[in-house]
Amino acid sequence: MNTIAMKFPGRRQHKHYFPVENKTPLTNKVNSEPKLARSYIVGIDQILVDIEAKVDDEFLTEFSLKRGMSQVITDEVTHRLYQRLKDEQLINYEFAGGTIGNTMHNYSVLADDRSVLLGVMSKNMQVGDYAYRFVSNTSSRVDLNYLQPVDGPIGRCFTLIDDTGERTFAINAGLINKLKPESIDESLISNAAALVISSYLMRTEEGDTMTQATLKAVECANKAGVPVVLTLGTKFLIEKEPEFWRKFVKDHVNILAMNEDEAQAITGITDPLKAADACLDWVDLVICTAGPEGLFMAGYVDEQHKRATEYPLLSGAIADFNRYEYSRPMLLKDCVNPVRIYTHTAPYMGGPDNIKNTNGAGDAALAAVLHDLSANVYHKMNVDDSSKHLQPAMTYSSLSQISKYANRVSFEILMQHSPRLSRGLPEREDSLEQAYWAL
């Protein structure tokens, strides 16, 4: 089948995509030093290495770990747990992790462009230790220059996979929560295309400064009109304080990413489409992954910019919900007559025959959405007079297109062990219908 590649304006691909640099008629060469402005995104994380191991239910019980949850464990439990995993040779791999660390890495791989990761890093690093491993397993496109040095270890996240494929996280925190508000560079945040955070950043102890650092970054982004993107991390954190999270999301967040369990925890609604719709009362754009059911997205468009889909209309909890999925989503404040838009994408090719591990599939979907969002900022910075920007949209592509891209990236993660991509998507895929990639 004849296919065309998904092309975004980015440093590597822009010249195929839109001619912002024309050849000089005299030399017939493209100016060798194009002075294009660049967009980037910033993420904050608890800097962690994942230690993945296959375990059974008894193992979880022995260490009093709650299945499916991300929980913090003491140094003493860590020591015993690590020893058991080593003695029984249960460890599959040790690799850089962290929900936002993974998202920044995947964004940089997909966009072939810069993201900035904020957090802490051991100031004394030895070849082979966890800090070293984190740095060496992170894309060179992720800017680590703003990490705050600390005198001690980064964190470890035991990623324990049981027979059903469910993952339980046990976190040994090290100094991950010692990021200080002073380490947040305000101009770095206020010039970014987006600020990306997770609910885990609020899980701190007395004396930790991570939460204050995060709140400072969020306030700075809010003030500068930089979209704040929150991923909900794990439902148990949300269930503990749903009222706090609803208020935080309403007051500070523009884009909310979650899976269906987290969506239920924050809205009380089981149906992922209805839950996504409920979240539109608080935010501008919603990404809700739903495992084997695929991906739902919801957003806003102004009446004058809405575009009707060419796909068959779908009905679920909301009738004909995908009617305007061809629209490019907008901030609610930029809509004179806001219309709610929704889309759904079923797992790419029905999902892989053999799912290695679903860990990080949701983070990867978010990385794809961020790629589209920053592509829009990049294009606007360089070709502001393009007719494309007559509509003050948040993203480069339509809701439908972004959702397909995100779902495609999730598929890639399901086929591998690590939550981090090792390469971008293929430019051409014969198995893809043209409509899947066409703009």
Ligand X SMILES: Nc1ncnc2c1ncn2[C@@H]1O[C@H](COP(=O)(O)OP(=O)(O)OP(=O)(O)O)[C@@H](O)[C@H]1O
- Binding partner at 46 among ligand X, ligand NOS, none, C-beta below 5 to 8 Å by kind: ligand NOS
Q: Using CB under 6 A as the criterion, which residues of the chain lie in contact with ligand NOS when the complex forms? A: 45-46, 48, 50, 70, 97-99, 102, 157, 169, 171, 200, 359-360, 363, 419
Nearer to ligand X, 292 or 426 (CB): 292
- Binding partner at 403 among ligand X, ligand NOS, none, C-beta below 5 to 8 Å by kind: none
Give binding residues as ranges: 98-102, 203, 289-294, 362, 407
Mode of pairing for the β-strands spanning 48-54 and 91-96:
antiparallel
Show Cβ contacts of residue 54 under 8 Å, excluding neighbours closer than 6 positions: 90, 92, 160, 161, 162
Q: Are 159 and 90 in contact (CB under 8 A)?
A: no
Residues in the chain, overall count: 439
Q: Residues 347 to 376: which contact ligand X by CB under 6 A?
A: 347, 351, 355, 358-363, 365
Nearer to ligand NOS, 167 or 216 (CB): 167
Q: Are 231 and 198 in contact (CB under 8 A)?
A: yes
Q: Residues 70 to 129: which contact ligand X by CB under 6 A?
A: none
Counting contacts by CB under 6 A, is residue 292 touching ligand X?
yes
Whose tokens are 């822009």? That residue is: 14
Backbone angles phi, psi at 62, to 5 degrees: -55, -35
Report, in Å, the least distance between residue 248 CB and ligand NOS.
17
Report, in Å, the least distance between residue 201 CB and ligand NOS.
8
CA distance 38 to 382: 9
CA distance 112 to 8: 11
Whose tokens are 């925190």? That residue is: 173
Token couple for 248: 């935080």
CA distance 264 to 223: 30
Q: CA distances (Å), 188 to each of 116, 135, 410, in order?
A: 9, 21, 29
- Binding partner at 277 among ligand X, ligand NOS, none, C-beta below 5 to 8 Å by kind: none
Q: Residues 404 to 433: which contact ligand X by CB under 6 A?
A: 407, 410, 414
- Binding partner at 259 among ligand NOS, ligand X, none, C-beta below 5 to 8 Å by kind: ligand X
Sign (positive or negative) of CA dihedral 350, 354, 359, 361: negative
Give binding residues for ATP as ranges: 289-294, 362, 407
3-class SS at 225?
coil
In the complex, residue closest to ligand NOS by CB: 97
Report, in Å, the least distance between residue 120 CB and ligand NOS.
12
Task: Quickly list H helices, 180-319.
Answer: 186-190, 210-224, 235-240, 242-252, 260-267, 272-279
Q: Site mask, ligand X, residues 249-278, x = CB under 6 A?
A: ----------x-------------------
Nearer to ligand NOS, 48 or 275 (CB): 48
Nearer to ligand X, 365 or 425 (CB): 365
Nearer to ligand NOS, 87 or 205 (CB): 205
Size of the site for ligand X (CB under 6 A): 20
- Binding partner at 361 among ligand NOS, ligand X, none, C-beta below 5 to 8 Å by kind: ligand X
Token couple for 190: 């206020």
- Binding partner at 294 among ligand X, ligand NOS, none, C-beta below 5 to 8 Å by kind: ligand X
Q: CA distances (Å), 264 to each of 35, 278, 344, 410, in order?
A: 47, 10, 18, 21
Kindly list the residues in this chain that would bind ligand X in the complex (CB under 6 A): 259, 289-292, 294-295, 347, 351, 355, 358-363, 365, 407, 410, 414
